[in-house]
Amino acid sequence: MMKDRQTGRQTGRQAETAPQGASSTGGLPKSALTYELHGGVTGSGARIWIALFQEKEGVEAVSVGAILSDYQRVRVENVCSRLQLQPLAYLWWRDQAALLKEMISSGVHALLIKVAAFGLDPGKHLGKTLAEMELCLQQLSQKYGVHICGEGGEYETFTTDCPLFKKKIVIDEMETVIHSADAFAPVGYLRFTQMHTEDKDIGSTESALPLGSCPCQSAIDKMTEEAVYADKTQDIQEEFTSNACRPWCSARSSVGYQWITGIGGLPSEHTDVQGQTQHALTQLQGELKERGFQLKHIVLVHLYVKNMEDFAEVNSVYCTFFSHNPPARVCVQTCLSAGQLLQMDVLLHDWTLPPQDGCFHQRDTLHVQSLSHWAPANIGPYSQAVRVDEAVFCAGQIALVPCTMKLLNRGPASQAQMSYSHVEKVLSAMGQNLTLSHVLQAHCYVSHHSYIPSAKEVWSSKLQEKQDQVACFGAEEIQGTPLVVAVVPSLPRGAAVELHVIAVQDDPAERTFSHQALDVPGGTIQWDLLQSSTGQYATLSLSVSLTGSCTSPGLAETETILQALGSSMQQAVAQMKKTLSPLCARVFYRSSSRIARELSAGLEGCLESMLGQSRPALVLVPVLELPDCAALHLSCWLSI
């Protein structure tokens, strides 16, 4: 609550609830990110209590003190969503050593009243203050992995004084109760038998609440801004005609992945964006039903809109289809054809085989709606990430300051740093030691061509940081993941940069990397293939760059380039150590380039003839610019 008051919010404290059947010794609920929400006395009681408090006190938000517990956070977020309150989780994923120090320095006087962990002794540690226990807790964390702030139920505290209190609590008499006399981790607690309150010195109450430092602002202050800001001239957005949006589906991979592309509105019947969104999602439901899937099987959605100002209207329809644990989503504005207001494609997954003996299938969803100092809450009906076994599919991230949800008011380099940092934090929450080094596919969207260098430089710098960290331990050099950068007309909230990644929890140093360049009439084709160390996932990045003298090749040259494109993809797929299914080929092409439009239009037939039934689903994304004189950039995701 002190954090909430520091931000100036009027809040109600979380109504503490525990899972039915939880142990009396406390403890962190099972480490899972996805919880099914069911009605019940506890949930209904909390909702009624908060609703009454909201009406009487004018409460705007509800605070949850969870640091790692998804169970606590999700229940509060669920109640808040029904009452239209803002959930707050300012302690979420905070560094516990720094957080404990901040509590102590802020004047929180709390006593340990229960201990239940290896290294904590009821006879020795009960009744001690956090300040007295700080060093001991740090040592226990290093030795045995004890949560410094007791987030794993290692200890409980009772606050006798803090800047919010008008009076302090004085403990007159207490007794120790041993709940479990375990030889290694005894469990004991204090029972207070007599207490009283005392007045505090004038000026020591809430008016003297220390402001402290905002972790978000501290991170911003460390960023290095570029010396020269990008020019303010706008990239030209051209309207063009293309083939009508129609569904296209990849083959289903052996582990249950399938990609459906070409989902869109019907301009002939719906001229408004809400009507087209409703049609697109209804069409999607039909495509899913035909293939034996449901909406719950969608892992990732790419949503392209013609006008980013339609973002709220699209979401108003979208949220009626996706509510509980929605898929991750990427949303950008792009140069869709006349009348087409949106286009989407989806990745589906449902296991085709039971897990092997001793193994289990894992699907987790990270859907954080609370304001925090961690990473941005969702600004739409989507999740930050969805994990299927070792693969993590993230949502696009822009440079929103987490505690305010306002766009960082700085240039593209700082926005890139913050966006990439958000992705790092999401990955860390999805898997132990998961970092940017585990990214297998990375797409970066920028809203101006002059932002391309900043996006690429910050990416290289981030990967080099990770490389330097592992080099200290004598680890092998890690092959950096190629970053595909595309210039689009607009991004959510007017952001300069949006990063989207797919990561795999494998050994990045053991990944397989191949590169090849091929001369074609008037230019070159280059491709990079990166395969996970397990061999189960791969990404193919293939670009066509033309020289300045070859901006309008003839039909024969275009056909030659197309054949070379198909052959290059075929050759790259053949080099993999395991046979993988190409699921989705996302083709970014310069909409102002005739050759780029012709190549993209011819790719469907080219891939069909080269790869047959194993050809990927195709997504054509018209963009304003691509780096390095590229006319077209194909990014393909492959899975076993």
Last residue of a domain, one of 295, 319, 353: 353
Helix (H, G, I), strand (E, B) or coil at 367: coil
Cross-strand bridge partners of residue 406:
401
Beta carbons of 620 and 588 less than 8 angstroms apart: no
638 and 524 co-located in one domain: yes
Same domain, 348 and 369: no
CATH value at residue 606: 3.30.1330.40
Sign, CA dihedral 552-553-555-558, equals negative
Burial class (CB in 10 A: 0-12, 13-18, 19+), 1: middle
Q: Are 492 and 530 in the same domain? A: no
Q: 114 and 87: one domain? A: no
Give CA–CA dist 306/287, Å, rounded: 23
- In this structure, the chain runs to a length of 640
Instruction: Please check the confidence at residue 206 and state whether its pLDDT lies above 60.
Output: no
Any domain includes 224: no
- Domain assignment present for 227: no
Helix axis angle, 594-611 relative to 555-574, nearest 10°? 50
Residue 230 within any structural domain of the chain:
no
* Residue 317 pLDDT class (50, 70, 90 cuts): very high
**Which of the listed residues 92, 119, 147 is the one where a domain comes to its end?**
92
Answer with the residue of higher pLDDT: 242 or 308. Answer: 308
In a domain, residue 358? The reply is no
**214, 229, 245 — which closes off a domain?**
214
My answer on whether 376 and 490 are in the same domain is yes
Based on the domain organization, do 425 and 465 belong to the same domain? yes
**Do 378 and 314 lie in a common domain?**
no
- 451 and 521 share a domain? no
Q: How far apart are CA 64 and CA 4, in angstroms?
A: 10
Q: pTM surpassing 0.85?
A: yes
Lowest mean pLDDT among 20-29, 334-343, 373-382: 20-29
Flag whether 615 is in a domain. yes
Residue 220 domain flag: no
Confidence of residue 134 (pLDDT cuts 50, 70, 90): very high
Cα(137)–Cα(150) distance, integer angstroms: 9
- Asked whether residue 18 carries a pLDDT value surpassing 70, the answer given is no
Q: What is the pLDDT of residues 257-284, one digit of tens each?
A: 999 999 998 888 899 999 999 999 999 9
Taking the C-alpha atoms of residue 177 and residue 563, their distance in angstroms, rounded to an integer, is 79
**Do residue 199 and residue 243 come from a single domain?**
no
Looking at the domain assignment, is residue 442 inside a domain? yes
> Lowest-pLDDT range, 105-109, 234-238, 356-360?
234-238
pLDDT in tens, 455-484: 999 999 999 987 877 666 566 678 889 999
How distant, in Å, are the alpha carbons of 309, 426, 515 from that of 627? 27, 27, 18
Mean of pLDDT values over 288-306: 97
User: Do residues 264 and 206 both lie within one domain?
Assistant: no
The residue-averaged pLDDT of 46-58 equals 72
Whether 219 is in a domain gets the answer no
Q: Contact, 424 vs 435, CB < 8 A?
A: yes
The domain in which residue 394 lies consists of 364-506
Q: Comparing C-alpha atoms, which of 460, 467, 425, 432 is closest to residue 444?
A: 460
**Do both 448 and 520 map to the same domain?**
no
What pLDDT sits at residue 230?
43
Q: What is the DSSP letter of 410?
A: S
Number of domains into which the chain is organized: 5
470 and 485, same structural domain?
yes
Res 611: pLDDT = 85
